[in-house]
Amino acid sequence: MDILHCDLDAFYASVEQRDQPALRGKPVIVGGRPGSRGVVSTCSYEARKYGIYSAMPANQAYRLCPQAIFLPPDIPKYIKASQQVFAILHRYSPVIEPLSIDEAFLDVSGCHSLFGSSTQIAQLIKQDVWEETGLLISVGIAANKFLAKLATNLGKPNGLLELGEEQVREILPLLPVNEIWGIGSKTAQRLKQAGIATASDLLLYPRFKLEAILGSNTDFYIQLCRGQDSRPVLSRSEQKSIGNEITFPQDLDDQKEIEHLLLELSCQVAYRVRHASLIAHTVTIKMRTPDFQTLTRSQTLQQGVDADLTIYKIALNLYHKSGLAGECLRLLGLNCSKLNDRTIEQPALFVDENDTLDQIIDDMKSKFGIDTIKRGSLLNRINRKI
């Protein structure tokens, strides 16, 4: 039972309630405003009692709960909180696989002699996150990634749940198919039309008929329904790429704001690359338009990079040449791939004029906290918003 899944509860809304005590205990919705075509990005648990959920149109959310407090998202603030939480997670395991800005897997199999059992490690994480960030995090513990994520979902909010073999035998057969990892709403609907409502239904259904619905992933879903998942937790050094992306609750067409967010992403991803002692040879940006068309642009370099501003300059150039500069976007992402071990690659290949400053910034973050120091251009952006 060495796999932990950590997931911050109602992340965006919880950050707003933390920073504005008057919002605590009230239905809070972060995302689009009523009267717009925006959607709910995240909502507090008080709002969820009214049937509101992420990606719901803001107008529908307003009809369900007119007294809800609608707030625009503050992405830089959420990135800052995320960085604080991930710094805490790194105290307890070097093997961390980020899933999103507020969610990650940890393999703690090599950490018990330092911190105790998996349950004790989960308790320490929850305590540190609360005391240092004022946020609640749910943790699921199990023998594999699928079951650990399931444990988190079952334990929310503010949960700590360990799924052993006995609990898995009780819970898994009745698990609705829409709660099986990777099965979206459309696939779940097709399964239900075929009479498959639960994991046990799926296991009893003829495989050749399942393949017509699930395609090449049929065997993977069958294994999950049996509680089997052989996928390892991939640390950053083992990952083929390191990246992050932001989905905007409302379409964003302010080019300067997009460029600043691209700088935020570049600094965040570059820090992760350096923290893993890696060097990247390919930088990719990802953009999604309001009509859900996704465009990626990449540049592969002979000389590896890991500096904030170097990666940003490459990403900015890709953005300006993409044909979408100044256009509305609903998603922006940045990814570094073709990663090599920095200690193995010859130093002459990655000498960068920005390395010294980045090292100073990294040292400050390591000694005094991840938010101790920030680039002036990002501080200027915060000041302009205030």
Three-state DSSP class for 99? strand
**Candidates 97, 103, 162, 264; catalytic one:** 103
What is the distance between the alpha carbons of residues 176 and 95, in angstroms, rounded to a whole number? 30
Among candidate residues 237, 333, 271, 239, the one with its CA nearest the CA of residue 83: 271
Q: What single DSSP character describes residue 44?
A: -
What is the distance between the alpha carbons of residues 14 and 18, in angstroms, rounded to a whole number? 6
Question: Are the C-beta atoms of 241 and 336 separated by less than 8 Å?
Answer: yes
Q: Which two tokens stand for residue 93?
A: 């395991």
Name every residue whose Cβ is closer than 8 Å to that of residue 226 and which is 6 or more positions away in sequence. 172, 203
Report the phi/psi class of residue 245: left, alpha or beta, with left for phi > 0 and alpha for psi in -120 to 50: beta
Tell me if residue 46 is catalytic.
no
Number of other CB atoms surrounding residue 40 within 10 Å: 24
Sign of CA dihedral 267, 273, 274, 276: positive
Among candidate residues 7, 230, 240, 20, the one with its CA nearest the CA of residue 104: 7
Name every residue whose Cβ is closer than 8 Å to that of residue 68 and which is 6 or more positions away in sequence. 27, 28, 29, 43, 47, 50, 52, 61, 62
What is the distance between the alpha carbons of residues 109 and 86, in angstroms, rounded to a whole number? 19
Number of other CB atoms surrounding residue 378 within 10 Å: 15
* Residues marked as catalytic: 103
